[in-house]
Amino acid sequence: MAAALLVAIGVGLRTWNLTGDPMWLDEAYSAYAADHGFGFLWRVVPLYESHPPFYYTLLHLWVLPFGDGLASLRLFGWTFGIATLPALWLVAASMGRWIGWEADERRRLQLAVVALASLSLALVEMTREIRPYSQMILLYTIEIGLILRLATRAERGRPIFGRSLIGYLLLLEALVWLHNLGALYGLALTLALAFALPLRQLARRDWIALVAGHVMVGLLYLPCLMILRGQAAVWTQHTWLQFSLNWGLIDHLMILYGVPGWIGLGSLVLAGIATIALHRAAHGRQLTAMLLTLALLPPITAILLSLTIAPVFVTRIMTATAIPALLLLGIGASAPGRYRMLGVGAAVLIGASMLTADVQARMGPPMQDWYRTVDWLAAHFNRGDQIFAYPNEGKLPLHYALRDKGLSYPIRAIPRDVPALEDRHGTHPTGTRGVSSLPRPELHAIAQEPATKRVPTIWLLRLGAKTYDPGDMFLQELHRDRYIVRSWQDGPIDIIGLRLRTLARPVPHPREVDLKSQPAPVRNRR
């Protein structure tokens, strides 16, 4: 009954206002890819995306029967996120048996793990997004259970080649294909399997099965590696993302392993109690090495990549590492012995803090509030007006927000719709070839086109204006024949309305004054 109540709370947190927030930029990329066929996904996406097309293919297969509405797209990740909870219940039971715990101790372990997983802010947040993270989390969970099953078979002298090993290898292949850094999870799982198996007891046929299976996984991963290699130069040279080792990074990582702040120290207490308990248990040292490798190796490697090659989004990408961390914390919360009350107290404190953080996140604003932006546009948009999205990726979330609101406004992506692969003159600030920041002569030519001059009011949509339009170059080019009537800013979303000077002019807008105070632009000649 306690487990059912906790799962119900976890389901409620993952479902609460699931379709109330609009898609933000990354989610819009997923929806955009899923709207296309397999030819686009496997021939075009690799030309501008560093991520492999496997997740987009799964999402496209989901969209075919269930539609591409916001509710359907969000339910795809939600389904995997909810399935993670019973999967963790089973994995915790297998883990308890492997370390020799009694039935009552295993039930307490299952309860603690499911409680922490139901409330984990990292797991809740990723379940709600149209991104591959909830799929990665579930696969990582199942892989841990399969490793424990393979280890048990090997210790009993049974051959490990069979359904469990085949399933492990297939899911390993799927995991590395779900994300451009999925190989980090593959490396961690391979090492964890080596820690769990009694390698000296394995028969020759087992070694052949293991080596051949992993070689096959590596060979099938090569196309994904080539995609990553092909996009690496653009990402490393043009990415806007900055990375630094600071306390903010530690707080973000603590979300994976519990909660940020001083209450997060409770995770260290639980990890310490778990280490002590496992030291005395059967296979305890193996399990400790497994869980620590699975929890720490991917983020540590991602941090090293960020410091030496190119920055990556460490915390979002590494959400699946919360699973082994929560398994370890669950052992600390349920371990018998002198530290039992301390472990229970720390778990309750962490769980209460997780729940508070979950509620605050649900009641807080969305990552990018495109619905408010659409409401503002609807109040000012007139017949004949047009939206210019610069960079072009801004069109994606705005398009889906307009669709959700039942509206349809003409949007012109600059230089053209994603992916703008034909453009060879600009730079790529987000590290993708599909999005370009254009030089001034290109922007001037667009502003002087007859089609542009016929638009009464252009609503210039900029995402990250300082990155894509440094010095307000495009704004200045449009401003030559227009004046600013209205503007809107909400986080990175920046919209400026520019009306033809031949039309009625209201009181000057403050941004009009600011723009006039800037130095006159220098006309570049071709």
Bridge-partner residues for 495, per DSSP? 461, 488
Please list the ranges in the chain whose pLDDT falls under 50: 520-526
Which residues, including other chains, have CB under 8 Å from residue 360's CB and lie 6 or more apart? Answer: none
Gap between the Cα atoms of 426 and 423, Å rounded: 7
CA 118 from chain centre, in angstroms, equals 19
Alpha-carbon separation of residue 105 from 111, 167, 307 (angstroms): 10, 29, 43
DSSP 3-state of 481: coil
Structure-token match 């703008």, residue found: 420
What pairing do the DSSP bridges indicate for beta strands 386-389 and 457-463?
parallel
Contact status, residue 321 vs residue 299, Cβ threshold 8 Å: yes
Q: What is the pLDDT of residue 514?
A: 64
Whether the full predicted model's pTM is greater than 0.85, yes or no, is yes
Give the count of alpha carbons within 13 A of 72, CB side only.
Answer: 16
Contact status, residue 135 vs residue 80, Cβ threshold 8 Å: yes
Gap between the Cα atoms of 161 and 140, Å rounded: 20
Q: What is the pLDDT of residue 230?
A: 82
Contact status, residue 396 vs residue 371, Cβ threshold 8 Å: no
Bridge-partner residues for 487, per DSSP? 496
CA diameter of the chain = 87
Gap between the Cα atoms of 92 and 201, Å rounded: 25
What pairing do the DSSP bridges indicate for beta strands 493-500 and 386-389?
unpaired
Q: What is the pLDDT of residue 29?
A: 96
Q: What is the pLDDT of residue 239?
A: 65
Burial status of residue 386 (CB atoms within 10 A of its CB: 0-12, 13-18, 19 or more): middle
Q: DSSP per residue over 390-437, as a string?
A: SSGGGHHHHHHHHHHTT----EEESSSSSP-TT--SSB-TTS-TT--B
Alpha-carbon separation of residue 193 from 4, 93, 143, 411, 421 (angstroms): 31, 18, 10, 51, 42
Q: DSSP per residue over 327-390, as a string?
A: HHHHHHHH--STTHHHHHHHHHHHHHHHHHHHHHHHHS--SS-HHHHHHHHHHH--TT-EEEES
Contact status, residue 355 vs residue 119, Cβ threshold 8 Å: yes
Strand segments, DSSP code E, in 436-492 are 457-463, 482-490
DSSP 3-state of 164: helix
For residue 18, count other CB atoms closer than 10 A to its CB: 16
Report the chain's terminal Cα–Cα distance, integer Å.
Answer: 74
What pairing do the DSSP bridges indicate for beta strands 493-500 and 457-463?
antiparallel
Give the count of alpha carbons within 13 A of 94, CB side only.
Answer: 20
Q: What is the pLDDT of residue 522?
A: 42
Element holding 80 (H helix, E strand): helix 70-98
461-499, pLDDT tens digit by residue?
998 888 888 889 999 999 999 999 999 999 899 999 999
Tokens of 27: 């989610």
Gap between the Cα atoms of 401 and 128, Å rounded: 17
Q: What is the pLDDT of residue 233?
A: 72
Contact status, residue 357 vs residue 368, Cβ threshold 8 Å: no
Q: What is the pLDDT of residue 425?
A: 67
